[in-house]
Amino acid sequence: MIVKLIDFFRDRLKTVIRAGYCLLALLVVLDAFVDKHHAHTWIEHYPGFWAAFGFGACVVIILVSKWYGHVKWFGRFSIMTREDYYDR
C-alpha cells in the first residue's frame, strides 16, 4: 500500500512539484494575516521573514559545510578525506 502510494506520486512528479510551489506561495501569503503579537523582534513582522530565513539557512549550511569539508587547510589536508585515512 505504501509502495503504491509512493509510486502514485512519483508517476505524477510534475504535478506534485507544482503543488509544492503553490504550497510555498500560500505559506508566505498566509503569513501576512497571522497574529504576530508573540513575535519578539521587529524583523519577524515582515511577512515571509521565516521563509527567507529558512531558505537562507539551508543554503548557507550546505555551502559553508561543503566549503569547510573540501577546502585545503593550511594548503595540505581537507576535512573530508579518504575512508582508510586512519588505517595506514
Query: Among 16, 19, 61, 71, which residue sits at the site for other proteins (rule: CB under 8 A)?
Result: 61
* Shortest Cβ 36–other proteins spacing (Å): 6
Task: Match 559545510 to its residue by C-alpha cell.
Answer: 65
Distances in whole angstroms, Cα of residue 72 to Cα of each of 45, 63, 78:
42, 15, 5
35 is a site residue for other proteins (CB under 8 A): yes
Of the candidates 63, 43, 62, which has an alpha carbon nearest to the alpha carbon of residue 53? Answer: 43
Binding site for other proteins (CB under 8 A): 2-3, 6, 20, 23-24, 27-28, 30-31, 34-36, 38-41, 44, 48, 50-55, 57-66, 68-69, 77, 79-83, 85-86
